[in-house]
Amino acid sequence: MQPYYIIMSYTYEQIHEIVATQRKFFRTGATLPVKWRIEQLKKLKAAVIEHATEFEDALVADLGRSRAEAFLCDVGPIVVEINEMIRGLRRWARPETHFSGLMCFPSMITKVYKMPYGVSLVISPFNFPILLTIGVVAAAMCGGNTVVIKTSSKSSACTAVMKRFFAAVFPPEYVTLIDGGHDVADLCLAQRFDKIFYTGSPSVGKHVMAEAAKNLTPVALELGGETGNWCVVRQDADLKDAARKIAFFKLLNAGQICININQIAVAKEVAEPFLEELKKAFTKQIGENPLMNEEYPKLITEAAYDKCAKLADEYRDRIVYGGVGDRESCKYAPTIIYPVNQDEHIVQHELFCPLLPVVPFEDAEVDTLMEMIAEREHPLAMYLFTKDMKWANRTMQTQQYGGGCINEVCIHLMVKGVPFNGTGHSGMGAYHGEWGFREFTHPQTVLKGSTRFNLPLREHPYSGKAGEWKMKLLKWFER
């Protein structure tokens, strides 16, 4: 495997030149033909498949992922996503035809064209560095945009591989990857882009929006949620099934997932048996000593490890499972903390680590619990485990969140044709498949007029007898 690289140092002028070059290329119209876009998506797909092993190696280096997990969560979904775009793009990009209406007579036809924004900026995170870079870039390309990419400096191995990858597959006037830290990200945000897509934390999302506002640049944000994602386990839930799925999800990427379960609310009536099932599920899936299991991922940096370990130590007296780590490898065991009050600070912010606070509640008071969740910042995901489908359906249709599952976790992300999005502190905008195409295009309405049969309804005079008959006609048209 090739050695990883020294991060380049960029100046404002260099990044400005990259953006200017891409804008010049976009203005040639080269990215507009749908056939050309499909060719680029096919090229991207072939390159992803060819470089899959390099991506998997980089994910092992950055996050300690097993190859199976790397393919399941990063490489495989990209191929599926691009396939959907290749199959659907011609239909999505087709101009819409509308009847102009009697008020617009003699015009008969109005078209809606789906136009790319132009030069887009994609700022990707460290937790799924391949998926959340290439997947978003594919959506931007599908929409007919050029792309400047700013990857995370934390996942340096993945950034190194992707920098070589994009440079080998596409010319820089079409797709360019810029590496570096927060200072480089700010240099990018100082440029005038036509669209910005950011994935990361709410605090940085606010900064991205503030910078974008200086140029009135439209922004899409995919954020983790200020107060985290709730999982509610009711008294009538299948406890073994719930525990098995929750354990799998919390082990995935060591909890470093924006849609992961931040805290569990479990009915007091079944809290003890549920915790026993959860402990057994963790042990069955990852073994007695997860720190020695090569398949168990690590936290991204020592700083992330220290933050996790410090918070675990604050709740040391309530840890009922796990609570151990190894700073050298940056691995921290899945850790159950019980009982936790709904107002404690550990459930007031996104954790992004293997800690799992459990909040007991009276099952009869579940609606009060849901009111408390609704009063906090909107989560990116919500998960309910119950046999009461009437309650579950009503709850899912009245709460505000990005997406979620009933008696399942996370796989709503894998359904074709549906959006992935957040709301409020968990984001804005949406993508995946056609929704990604929509996010990176602007609908432009064009009415086709006529030089014949034009009535003087809209023209002066508006008074006298002429005005009277004009008003009568207008009211008739508006029926």
In eight-state DSSP terms, residue 75 is I
pLDDT digits (tens, 9 = 90+) for 147-175: 999 999 999 999 999 999 999 999 999 99
Question: What's residue 225's pLDDT?
Answer: 84
Q: Is it the case that residue 84 has pLDDT exceeding 70?
A: yes
Question: What's residue 340's pLDDT?
Answer: 98
- The CATH T-level fold of domain 230-376+381-417 is Aldehyde Dehydrogenase; Chain A, domain 2 (3.40.309)
Catalytic residue from among 54, 69, 84, 222: 222
Q: Is it the case that residue 2 has pLDDT exceeding 70?
A: no
Question: What's residue 305's pLDDT?
Answer: 98
pLDDT digits (tens, 9 = 90+) for 393-451: 999 999 999 999 999 999 999 999 999 999 999 999 999 999 999 999 999 999 999 99
Rounded percentage of the chain residues whose pLDDT exceeds 90: 92
Q: Is it the case that residue 8 has pLDDT exceeding 70?
A: no
Question: What's residue 473's pLDDT?
Answer: 84
pLDDT digits (tens, 9 = 90+) for 110-126: 999 999 999 999 999 99
- Cis amide bond preceding 461, omega within 30: yes
Report CA-CA distances (Å) from 273 to 269, 276, 280, 339, 414: 9, 5, 11, 14, 31
Question: What's residue 160's pLDDT?
Answer: 96
Residue 222 is a catalytic residue: yes
Q: Is it the case that residue 55 has pLDDT exceeding 50?
A: yes
The residues, ordered by sequence, that sit 6+ positions from 333 with a Cβ below 8 Å of its Cβ are 290, 291, 322, 323, 324, 325, 354
- The CATH T-level fold of domain 12-225+429-442 is Aldehyde Dehydrogenase; Chain A, domain 1 (3.40.605)
Q: Give the domain ranges of the chain.
A: 12-225+429-442, 230-376+381-417, 449-477
pLDDT digits (tens, 9 = 90+) for 306-346: 999 999 999 999 999 999 999 999 999 999 999 999 999 99
Q: Is it the case that residue 7 has pLDDT exceeding 70?
A: no
Catalytic residue from among 73, 158, 258, 353: 258
pLDDT band at 56 (very low <50, low <70, confident <90, very high): very high
Q: Does the predicted TM-score (pTM) go above 0.85?
A: yes
The residues, ordered by sequence, that sit 6+ positions from 406 with a Cβ below 8 Å of its Cβ are 383, 384, 385, 386, 389, 392, 393, 396
Residue 330 is a catalytic residue: no
